[in-house]
């Protein structure tokens, strides 16, 4: 399946990885949307509920996680990280500094692999908040992880060993595609492309559907045809050796309907996407400067 494909390139100097035992324990700090996607995917991939320790201050969220997945849910973050091999930081970026500083004594004691999914927060800042350069893997997932069709970009600090690389990769592969980047600065464009990308494409779906309704198609039919067309095009492009440009040429007959439609899209679509990815990447960089600023 394409979504299970990994195009892993371990960071320079790392040799092939060692298989990881499924007996590992994972703590997740912040039991919201992304945490639920990850737990759901890992349970489907063979993990057991007892391998998770999730922390969230919201009692309703803890009840939801326990009832839905049968995992242990804690109000106290430090309690959740006890005995964990990996700690996933899944709170909002603006809270991360405070949460990590509070967790620091527990983390320095147990020295787990830190896996941060927070947008726009650099690994060096996480290490500074901990007070020690513990191994950190930064991950930028996306919401299709919920349906095991996510795309995650990963970056490892030099402190991360090969077994931990495999551990982090196996976690994210349970919910979709995994790619490694060699430079942390590239995590900003990964965020602006695949992290935010589902929202761009939901907007494209809305626009295509509305345009067909405006031409007289009923909404239900317009939505179904739009969704299946976008799904089919993505599946075809994933499975084909041809580039998207070649696949597009196969649809476009000289003087035909597609050429007429494409001529309109070419008026602005490419530059809009350049600008959208540029703005989202710049926002990720700005968040990193802001949230990582020393007091
Ligand atoms: N939603 C998205 O598309 C993506 C989100 N991310 C990142 O994932 C992270 C989590 O995002 P979501 O799951 O969407 O947010 P969310 O709001 O659904 O979940 C965050 C959870 O953290 C909990 N929380 C608040 N204060 C806490 C504390 N002091 N200790 C422990 N837990 C606390 C909240 O109660 C909430 O359940 C963010 O850093 C975001 O940048 C990354 C990629 C995509
Ligand atoms: O909008 C955001 O900041 C987060 C990160 C990528 C997707 N959602």
Atom of ligand 2 nearest to the CA of 199: 7
**What pLDDT, on the 0 to 100 scale, is given for residue 292?**
85
- Separation of alpha carbons 287 and 94, rounded Å: 9
Q: What is the pTM of this model?
A: 0.90
- ipTM of the predicted structure? 0.98
Burial call 129-140: b when 16+ CB within 10 Å, e when fewer? bbeeebbbbbbb
**Residue among 275, 274, 236 at smallest CA distance from 248:** 236
* Numbered ranges of CATH 1.10.3730.10 in the chain: 197-280
For residue 54, the 8-state DSSP code is: E
d(CA 135, CA 164): 9
Which one of the ligands is nearest to 192 CA? Answer: 2
- In the chain, CATH 3.40.50.720 covers 2-182
pLDDT given at position 146: 85
CB atoms within 10 A of CB 166: 19
Q: How far is the CA of 98 from the centre of ligand 2 (A)?
A: 20
Ligand 2 site residues (CB inside 6 A) read 119, 191, 195-196
Q: Tens digits of per-residue pLDDT, 7-58?
A: 444 444 444 433 444 568 999 999 999 999 899 989 988 999 999 999 999 9
Nearest of 81, 138, 124, 120 to residue 104 by alpha carbon = 81
Name which of 93, 113, 115, 86 is nearest 27 in CA terms: 86
Ligand nearest to the CA of 96: 1
CB 141 within 8 A of CB 32: no
Residue ranges lining ligand 1, Cβ < 6 Å:
29-35, 55-58, 61, 77, 90-93, 95, 99, 117-119, 140-143, 195
- Token readout for 41 is 């995917």
State what percent of residues in the chain have pLDDT above 70. 92
Q: Please, which pLDDT band fits residue 106 given cuts at 50, 70 and 90? A: very high
What is the side-by-side order of every strand in the sheet holding 52-55? 6-7, 176-180, 150-156, 136-140, 113-116, 86-89, 26-29, 52-55, 72-74
Ligand 2 centre distance from Cα of residue 118 (Å): 9
Decide if domain 197-280 falls under CATH 1.10.3730.10.
Answer: yes
Give residue 293's pLDDT band: very low, low, confident or very high (50, 70, 90). confident
Question: β-strand 150-156 against 136-140: which pairing, if any?
Answer: antiparallel
Nearest CA to ligand 2 atom 1: 196
Report which protein residue has its CA nearest ligand 2's atom 6. Answer: 195
Are the C-beta atoms of residues 136 and 159 closer than 8 Å to each other? yes
Q: Which top CATH class is 2-182? A: alpha beta
**Contact indicator for 281, 192 with CB cutoff of 8 Å:** yes
The per-residue pLDDT for 78 is 96
């Amino acid at each position: 399946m394409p979504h299970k494909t990994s195009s892993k390139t371990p960071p320079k100097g790392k040799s092939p990885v060692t298989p990881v035992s499924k007996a590992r324990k994972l703590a997740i700090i912040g039991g919201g949307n992304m945490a639920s996607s990850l737990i759901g995917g890992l349970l489907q991939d063979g993990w057991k509920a007892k391998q998770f320790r999730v922390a969230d201050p919201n009692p309703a969220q803890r009840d939801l996680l326990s009832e839905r997945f049968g995992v242990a849910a804690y109000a106290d973050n430090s309690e959740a990280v006890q005995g964990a091999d990996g700690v996933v930081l899944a709170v909002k970026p603006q809270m991360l500094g405070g949460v990590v500083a509070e967790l620091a004594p527990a983390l320095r004691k147990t020295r787990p692999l830190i896996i941060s999914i927070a947008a726009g927060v650099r690994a060096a800042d996480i290490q500074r908040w901990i007070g020690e350069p513990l191994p950190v893997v930064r991950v930028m997932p996306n919401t299709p992880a919920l349906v095991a069709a996510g795309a995650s970009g990963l970056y490892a600090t030099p402190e991360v060993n090969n077994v931990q690389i495999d551990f982090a990769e196996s976690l994210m592969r349970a919910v979709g595609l995994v790619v490694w980047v060699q430079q942390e600065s590239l995590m900003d464009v990964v965020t602006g492309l695949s992290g935010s990308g589902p929202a761009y494409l939901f907007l494209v779906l809305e626009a295509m559907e509305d345009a067909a309704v405006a031409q007289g198609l009923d909404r239900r039919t317009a939505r179904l045809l739009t969704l299946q067309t976008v799904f089919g095009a993505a599946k075809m492009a994933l499975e084909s050796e041809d580039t998207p440009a070649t696949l597009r040429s196969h649809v476009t007959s000289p003087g035909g309907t597609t050429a007429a439609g494409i001529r309109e899209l070419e008026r602005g679509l490419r530059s809009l996407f350049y600008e959208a990815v540029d703005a989202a990447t710049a926002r990720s960089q700005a968040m990193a400067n802001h949230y990582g600023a020393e007091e």
